[in-house]
Amino acid sequence: MPEAPSGPTLPHPQILRKRADFLRAARAGRAHTDAFTLQARQRNDSSAAGLVRVGYTCSKKVGNAVARNRAKRRLRAVAAEVLPQLGQPGWDYVLIGRPGVTATHPFDAMLKDLARALEKVHRPRERKA
């Protein structure tokens, strides 16, 4: 597990359920890892501004229903461990499973991947002149 900052942790993330929230996250920043893709979007609305929201998705390319559910369970477990420490309030995150990898990738590697992906999406973007 990556080193968590010493300080208060966030409450458990709320779950994204509406398609519109997933579509807004898809237009925002993303970070690819070996086991999954992370999409992240900073919300501008004031409703639940201090909360972290997270969604999970796996397409049929990941496999049958059993394989998709296994992949999503692993993504939920990774997010539950990492997002309370490294997630930022007012952000939506979507974790997308990758075919053939998400269900079998080592769990500790997935924890490190999510920590690195969060660093990448929270890094300030360079402006082009």
How much is the average pLDDT of 6-22?
Answer: 79
Q: Burial level of 78, CB count in 10 A (0-12/13-18/19+)?
A: buried
How much is the average pLDDT of 39-66?
Answer: 88
Q: Burial level of 76, CB count in 10 A (0-12/13-18/19+)?
A: middle
Structural contact between residues 88 and 122, judged by C-beta atoms closer than 8 angstroms: yes
pLDDT on residue 58: 95
Identify the band that residue 123 occupies on the pLDDT scale cut at 50, 70 and 90: confident
Identify the band that residue 8 occupies on the pLDDT scale cut at 50, 70 and 90: low
pLDDT over threshold 60, residue 6: no
Structural contact between residues 99 and 57, judged by C-beta atoms closer than 8 angstroms: no
pTM: 0.85
